[in-house]
Structure 1
Amino acid sequence: MARMWITMGPQHPMTHGLWTLRVKVDGETVVDTEAELGYIHRGVEKICEARDFTQITPYCDRLCYVSAMTWANSYIYAAEDLLEADVPERAEYIRLISAELQRLASHLMWLGAFGPDIGNLTLMTWCMRDREMFLDLLQELGGSRMHYNYPRIGGVKRDMPIGFADRVIAKTKLFEKRLDEYEMMLDESTIWLVRLQGVGYANAESMVDAGVSGPNVRAAGVNYDVRWAHPYSVYDEIDWEPSVEKPTSVKGADCYDRYRVRMEEMRQSCRMVLDALNKIPGGKNTNYANGDEMIYTKAPTRAPEGATGFSNYECTRGASQFYIQGGGEGRGKYPYRVSIRSPMFITIPYVAKTMIGYKIADIPAIMGSFDPCIGETDR
C-alpha cells in the first residue's frame, strides 16, 4: 500500500497546543513520526537574565498556565538555594497545599480534554465543573484564576484568608466522592476500555533511558516521585505515598495505565491537602484588610559571587529543574544564567516514537494519555 506523510498541527485537536506532528503512514498504520516544536518559544531563559530574582517569578507562572503554581514554586526553591533564604514552616505548608490544589486542577484539565479525544463529551463538563472549585480556592490565595504570582523568595505572598481551610476541606471531601463517580462512568465504559487498553505501550526501561518522569513513568511501575525520593518543603511530614501502577503487560504501560495513575494521584493530592491542613502550624489568618499578612522571611536580594542555585521539583507532568547562576560582581541582583528543564520537552519526542505501529485513530488516545503541555515545552 502507498505510503505518505500526514501533517497534524500546529492547530489540531489532538496536539493540545501549538506544535506539529508529522506522521508517515502505510495505509492506516503509523510507520514513522516527526515532532516539530518551537511555535510558542518566548525566550524565557534569556528574559530572566534582565530581571532581578523577584521579577522572574511571574514569568514562571506563565511557563504552563495549567500548573502555574507548581512552576513558580519550582523556581522559588532554586532562588532560595541561591540566596540561602530561610522559609517559615507555616509558609511551607501553605506552599504544599497550594501546589496540590494546583495538581488537582491540572489533572482535571487533562482528564476533561482527554475525554473528547476518546469520544466522551460528558467528561469535559464534569471535569470543568470540579476544576472550578480548585481554581476558586487558588484565586483566594493569589488573586487570579491562572497566573497567581503567589510564592515569594522566603515564603508566600500572604496567609490563608479567614475560613479558607474550612472551604478547602469541604471541597476536597466533595471531590473525593466525585472521583468515585468518574471511575464508575469510565471503568464500566466499553468504548473507554477498548480505546485505551492495549494501546500506546511504553516500557519502563525506554522511558527511564529517555528521561521521562512523573505520572507517565510511574504508570509503567517505576516508583520515582521527586516529592518522595528527594523530599522538599514538608512532604516528608505529610501522610501520603506515590501513585504507581503495575502494568498488566510485559510491553509496559498502556493508555489505560496512564489514566489510572493520574486518577490515583488525585486521590493522593486530596489526602495530602487534608493532612497538611491538620498539621499546619498556627498563624493569624487574614482578611487582607491591612498590609501585614505576608508570610516570608526577608531574603537577600543579591547573590554571592560564584553562587549557584538548583531545584528538583515534582510538577504536574514530571520532574522540573531550575539551575540559576548568580550574576557576579556588579550584577548581584540579576542571574547570569537561568536554565529550565521541562519534563514535556523530553516526553513529547518520546511519545511521537511510541505511536509507531499503531493506527491513525489511536494517535489522539496515545498523545492525550501523556498529558502534553506546549507552554512549558517551548518556554
Structure 2
Amino acid sequence: MANQVQYIFDKENLRKSAPQKFKSEDLKREEMIVNIGPQHPSTHGVLRLEVLAKGEEVIEVVPHLGYLHRCFEKHAEKLPYNQIIPFVDRMDYLAAMNTEHAYAMGVERMLGIDKIIPKRVEYIRVLVAELNRLASHFIALGSYGMDIGAVTAFFWMTRDREHIVRLLEWASGARMLYNYIWVGGLFYDLPVGFEERCLEFTTYLKPKIRELERVVIDNKIFIDRTANVGVLPVDLAINYGITGPMLRGSGLKYDLRKVDGYSVYPEIDFDIPVGKGEAGTLGDCWDRTWVRVQECYESIKIIEQCLEKLITEHKRTRDFDPRALAPKKIRPKAQDFYIRAENPKGETGFFFRADGRSDVPFRCKARGASFVNLSIINELAKGGLISDLVAVIGSIDIVLGEVDR
C-alpha cells in the first residue's frame, strides 16, 4: 500500500512538473492549447506536440520529446565498440542497416583498416543499406498517405516492404534489428541464391512504384493536401541543419553518398533527385514526398549495379570470410573522430572520443537526422491549419527512437 501511495504521489509531482510552454492565464481571447500526442497515429509514435491554436489556425507548435528514450549514448560508453551495434540498430529501427554502416565505417577509419575492407563486403553493405533505404521510404510514403486519407498507399507500401524485410531476414537472421554489418566485415556472407532473388524483386518493384506515383502522388486530392503546405525555403533549411529528402525537397542537391563518396558509392552511377516546385511552391510537403519516391528509383539502380558486381566481378568463393578483418579487441589510438553517412532521413553521424587505453569509447555521441529535422516543425506549421500540421509531421518522416536516442 505504501508503494502504491508513493507511486501516486510521484506521478502527481511528475504531472505538475511537466514542462508547459503555454499558460492558460496568458492566452488571448479565442486562443486555446491543444495537445496532439504522445499516443496519436499522426505523430508517428510517441511525439507530443503542444499546439497554440486560434480556432483551426496554428499559432505556435512546441514538440516535447523523451517518451521513447533509448539511452543509446550512455549504453555505448559502457560497452566495447563491437558490442554497440545492436544498440545502434534501435535508433532508427526502420533503417538499421544504414545506421550500422555509418557506425562500422567510423570505427574502421579510427583503426585505419577502412582501405583494406574487401570489395565484396563493401558491395554487400551498400546493397543491404539501399534495400533498407527502400523499406524506410516505403513506410514513410505509406504512413504519410494514411495520415491524409490515402489508405491504399499504406497497404501497397507495407506489402512491398515485406519482400525487403524477408530478404534482409534471410541474410541476417533478424527481421528489423539486424546486427549484420560488423566492424571489419559482416556477420555472414549473403545466402546462396540471394542475388538472383533480389534481381527478381527489383524487376517486380519498378512498375509498383510507378503505380504509387499515378494513384497517390499525382492524385488531385493528395496535391491539394500537400502542395503549398509546410514550405521550407532552402536558406532556412541550411540554417536549421536540415538534411536528407527534406533539404533536397527544397532544391539543394546535397547527398553524402556523392559529397563524401564513402564505401563504393563513387563507383556506382545514380542521380540525386531534388524538388522543383512542380505542384506548388518549391520546398513544400509535395516536393519532399516526390523526392522520396524518386529516391526509390535511384536505390533500385544502385541495388542492380551492386548485384551485377557481386555476380560478375566479386563472386563468392569458398575461402572468402566476411569476418576475417573483424578484430577481437578494438582499441583505437587516442583521438576525437566524427563519421557521417546518408541515411534515408538525412545525415546520421557518430562522434567518438577514444582514450587510447580502453576498448570502450570514453565518449560516444550520435547525430540523429530525425531529431534535427524535427526542430523546424514550428517554422513549417505556424500560420497553417491543424490539418496541415498533420501533413507537415508526415512530410518530415521522423522515427522517435532516433529523436530520443
- Kindly tell me: are residues 223 and 296 of structure 1, through their superposed partners in 2, closer, same or farther at Cα, counting changes over 3 Å? farther
Q: Say if 2:136 and 2:344, in contact at 8 Å, map to a contact too.
A: yes
- CA positional deviation for 1:298: 3.7
Alpha-carbon offset, residue 283 of structure 1: 3.1
1:72 maps to 100
Check conservation: 2:279, 2:286, Cα contact below 8 A.
Answer: no
CA distance in 1, matches of 2:43, 2:315: 44
TM-superposed CA distance for 1:251, in Å, is 5.6
- Cα deviation, residue 353, structure 1: 2.6
3-state secondary structure, aligned to 1:14: helix
TM-score between both structures, scaled by the size of structure 2: 0.88
1:19 to 31, 42, 47: 47
* Matched-pair identity in %: 34
The residue type paired with residue 68 of structure 1 is A
Structure ranking higher on relative contact order (CA contacts 8 Å, 6+ apart): 1
CA, structure 1 residues 64+35, in 2 after alignment: closer, same or farther (shift >3 Å)? same
Alpha-carbon distance, 1:33 to partner: 1.1
Alpha-carbon distance in structure 2 between the residues aligned to 1:61 and 1:31? 37
Distance 1:356 1:21, change over 3 A: same
Does the 8 A contact of 1:79 with 1:309 survive in 2? Answer: no
Pairwise CA distance, 1:40: 1.4
For the residue of structure 2 that corresponds to 1:335, the secondary structure is coil
Aligned residue for 2:81, secondary structure, equals coil
- 8 A contact 1:239–1:272 mirrored in 2: yes
- Structure 2 equivalent of residue 220 of structure 1: 250
Moved beyond 3 Å, runs of 4+: 248-252, 291-296
- Could you tell me how far 1:303 is from its partner in structure 2? 2.3
- In the alignment, structure 2 segments of 5+ residues that lack a partner are 1-28
Instruction: Write the distance in 1 (CA, Å) between the matches of 2:73 and 2:355.
Output: 14
- Mapping 1:1-379, distance limit 5 Å: 2-85=30-113, 86-248=116-278, 252-280=282-310, 281-284=313-316, 294-299=322-327, 301-329=329-357, 331=358, 333-379=359-405
Kindly state the Cα deviation for residue 189 of structure 1 after the two structures are TM-superposed. Answer: 2.1
More displaced 10-residue stretch of structure 1: 252-261 or 242-251: 242-251
Change (3 A) 1:256 1:250: closer
The CA distance in 2 between the partners of 1:298 and 1:182, in whole Å, is 42
One-letter code of the match for 2:121?
A: A
Structure 1 stretch 58-67 or stretch 188-197: which is displaced more? 188-197
Q: Deviations over 1:178-232 (max 9, x none)?
A: 1111111114422111111111111110011100000110001011000011110
CA contact (8 A) 1:202 1:251 kept: no
Q: How much has 1:293 moved relative to structure 2?
A: 5.0
Could you tell me which runs of 5 or more consecutive residues in structure 1 were left unpaired when the two chains were aligned.
Answer: none
Quick one: which amino acid aligns to residue 69 of structure 2? H
Task: Answer yes or no: is the 8 Å Cα contact 1:161–1:285 preserved in 2.
Answer: no
- Tell me, yes or no, if the aligned pair for 1:203 and 1:251 is still in contact at 8 Å: no
Secondary structure, aligned partner of 2:95: helix
Counterpart contact for 2:135–2:164, Cα < 8 Å:
yes
1:292 CA drift (Å)? 7.5
Counterpart-to-counterpart distance in 2, 1:178 and 1:295 = 36
Q: Which structure has the bigger radius of gyration?
A: 2
Instruction: Calculate the aligned-residue CA RMSD, in Å.
Output: 1.8
- Structure 1 residue 247: Cα displacement: 2.5
TM-score normalised over the length of structure 1: 0.94
State the distance in 2 between where 1:107 and 1:296 align: 33
Tell me if structure 2 keeps the 8 A contact 1:162–1:285: no
